[in-house]
Amino acid sequence: MAGLTVAAERSTTAARRARRRPLLSLVPALFVGCYLLVAAAGPLLIHYDPVHTSLEDRLLAPGSRTSTGGTAWLGTDGLGRDLLAQIVYGARTAVLIGVSTVALSCAVGVLLGAVAGYFRGAADAVLARIFDILLAFPAILLAIVIAGAFERSVLLVVLALSATGWIGFARVTRGITLSLRERPWVDAARVLGVPGRTILARHVLPFTAGPVVALATLEFALVVLAEAGLSFLGIGLPPSTVSWGQTIANGKEYLETQWWISTLPGIALSLLIVNTGILGDQLTARYGRGRSD
């Protein structure tokens, strides 16, 4: 009887853990969803002008009253700018640049990878050499060179981060396409005289969706971090565009006294990157190898 009781207790505990796992696995998705909601709706609810500020409200602690009678819930920075508004508008900037960069990299990488993997021959050989050349340069270093050589803008940051971001998508798509091009349904389509571009679009590319989405999630986290790094160095976005990297850089000289200026945007940035990375790992574990059977 004692043995049966112990076995029953172990079974109950295992069942409870199994029920908790799906709930815990939703936490990263909920965090990312909240950030997307703040990025979309936050600027509509909070008015903020990063250029015209009130110097009377500089370096206010969280919860302090401003000169206009409002409340600085997260304090202000050295120029009197509201930190809550900077975090909200910074979320919009991070999501905008992250989505734009990943979308551009994905479009270029998937197209080139699919063409190289399906048609092989000279196209595959040339693209393979391009992959090798670009991979020889550190991605962030190349982005710094591009961003520092031209006038700062959102478009420039997107192009700088996309310069090497498409390579990962191309390599993943090429590998899956090389496997799929030998499948029976692809051979049957060739025998029936279906054009190669049609086979590629209808019978190959749909199977790359899972791995590409998983990779896009991970790339999004890297792009957000890279953009914050460029803005922290002062070669990313212009001052008129709010960025978490700029906000963190603006508060580095006040770390000993007004810690919230750099700490709170840093926490917001860290939570987004960590949860997006975990979500990407979950998608990679599920779709990373693709569904080619």
Instruction: Report whether pLDDT(87) > 90.
Output: yes
Q: pLDDT at residue 5 above 60?
A: no
Within 8 A by CB and 6+ apart from 174, the residues are: 113, 114, 116, 117, 124, 127
Q: What is residue 128's predicted lDDT score, i.e. its pLDDT?
A: 80
Tokens found for residue 244 = 């978490």
Q: Which residue has the higher pLDDT, 252 or 293?
A: 252
Q: Average model confidence (pLDDT) for the chain? A: 85
What mean pLDDT do residues 256-273 have? 94
pLDDT band at 157 (very low <50, low <70, confident <90, very high): very high
Task: Specify the pLDDT at position 225.
Answer: 94
Averaged over 28-56, what is the pLDDT? 88
* The predicted structure's pLDDT at residue 36: 93
Question: pLDDT class for 53, splitting at 50, 70, 90?
Answer: confident
Other beta carbons within 10 Å of 278: 18
Q: Nearest Cα to 117, choosing from 130, 108, 129, 128? A: 128
- Calculate ∠ Cα 211-267-237, nearest 5°: 75
Q: Report whether 261 contacts 78 (CB < 8 A).
A: yes
Q: What is the pTM of this model?
A: 0.86
Query: What pLDDT is recorded for position 70?
Result: 87
Report CA torsion sign: 127, 192, 290, 34.
Answer: positive
What's the confidence (pLDDT) of residue 8? 42
Mean pLDDT throughout 141-160?
89
Least-confidence region, from 12-26, 96-110, 167-181, 197-211: 12-26
Averaged pLDDT, 138-165: 89
More confident residue, 106 or 119: 106
The two three-digit tokens of residue 235, written as one number: 């070669």
Over 50: is that where the pLDDT of 250 sits?
Answer: yes
Greatest mean pLDDT among 117-131, 230-244, 262-276: 262-276
Is the pLDDT score of 11 beyond 50? no
